[in-house]
Amino acid sequence: MSPARQAMLVACALAACGGADPSASSSFGVNTLPPLSGTASSTSSSTSTSTTSTSSGPGTDTSSSGTAGGPLLDLGVPDLGNGAPPGCKGKIDFLFVISGHGFMSEIQGQLVDAFPKFISTIEAKFADFDYHIMVVDGDPIWGHEWCNGPPCPDPACQIPEFPSCDMIASRTVCDFTMGAGTVFNAGSLAPNVPCNLPEGRRYLTRDDPDLESTFACMAQVGESGRDYLNEALVRAISPDLTEPGGCNEGFLRDDALLMVTFITMTGDGSLTGTIKGFKQAVLDAKGGDPDAVVMFAITSSPDKAGCEVALWDRVCLLIRLFPYWHAISWSEPDYGPGFETATDLVVEACSQFIPG
């Protein structure tokens, strides 16, 4: 990390970066998320603090990992003899919630390197599973407000590769709906072209071609956006978006285990909502069963001590409210091993999650 950027992060930590009041960030009141909207809102940019920590070893709530019954175990894929794992019935919905904050430019190399490793792990470890993969970003605005136009792109745009007018005109309402699966990322360090998803879906399935390259297109959300990650999670799995007619229709299944992967340098900058409310929204989406969820975070406060100090890091706080979770630092040079460890928890959770 450049000295100038490091100094900016430290200053940001000391000043809370102009984001939400830290005391409000750790509130345990009811959820107060605003209603979903099919159009983008021009809310002010929010940044949270970022500190560098290292991930501690597997274990319980004193480390970077947690399980329902104790230490993390690499159990392998349990089998009933018919190729279908028990409990979650061989179905997993992988949801990646990725920050588009400007600070994310510092880890673009690690992210680009990690995306194929994430897919390789899923394909290798869950070859017999029926899985869905979706990505959402933490930004209520599509593209970049200085480039979107009109005219398109705006003459003030400083992103040479920004999509053409024809591409911009091809957007649908879901492309700028907060929490909708990302299939057309635009802005600095984004692909700036639509991703090639089959059948017009906003998520991938095991049987789709070119999983690695398509996932990389979906997951490279760039650094022209924001970090409203917990809001994005809640909206992505809300009935408004997952039920018939919604942008994410078909992604979330009642009888599938949900694994959520957060990737952020700045924690969560959500402007509305509370930790308790975010947790309840996830439980509501999974029938009230905490064993139906595995949480993984690449974040600024992966260990318990850092999480308790950095009350602004509501990703750190949220994941620990579920029985299965793992966290590593964004400063890790390779995110693949952390994801590998987190997916071990999926196997364990599948043995406990019994769909009704």
Tens-digit pLDDT string for the chain (356 aa): 444 344 444 333 333 333 332 223 332 223 334 444 333 333 333 333 333 323 332 334 434 666 543 333 333 444 434 454 556 778 999 999 999 888 888 888 899 999 999 999 999 999 889 999 999 999 988 998 888 878 877 788 889 899 988 888 889 999 989 999 999 999 999 999 999 898 779 999 999 999 999 999 999 999 888 899 999 999 999 999 999 999 999 999 999 999 999 999 888 888 888 999 999 999 999 999 999 999 999 998 888 777 777 667 889 899 999 999 999 999 999 999 999 999 999 989 988 887 86
Residue 336 lies in a domain: yes
CA atoms of 261 and 97, how far apart (whole Å): 6
Residue 208 lies in a domain: yes
C-alpha angle 167/43/48, rounded to 5°? 105
Handedness of CA 51, 226, 43, 317 (dihedral sign): negative
Segments forming the whole domain that contains residue 144: 3-350
Copy the structure tokens of residue 280.
Answer: 């309840």
DSSP, collapsed to helix, strand or coil, labels residue 3 as: helix
CB neighbour list of residue 310: distance below 8 Å, 6 or more residues apart: 49, 51, 267, 300, 301, 316
Residue 255 lies in a domain: yes
DSSP, collapsed to helix, strand or coil, labels residue 280 as: helix
CA atoms of 239 and 327, how far apart (whole Å): 28
CB neighbour list of residue 229: distance below 8 Å, 6 or more residues apart: 97, 99, 138, 262, 264, 268, 269, 270, 315
Residue 132 lies in a domain: yes
Residue 314 lies in a domain: yes
**Strands across the sheet containing 65-66:** 65-66, 325-329, 293-299, 257-263, 91-98, 130-137, 204-205
CA atoms of 234 and 130, how far apart (whole Å): 23
Residue 355 lies in a domain: no
Residue 311 lies in a domain: yes
CA atoms of 268 and 227, how far apart (whole Å): 6
Adjacent-strand bridge partners of 97: 136, 262
What's the CATH code of the domain at 191? 3.40.50.410
Residue 356 lies in a domain: no
The count of structural domains within the chain is 1
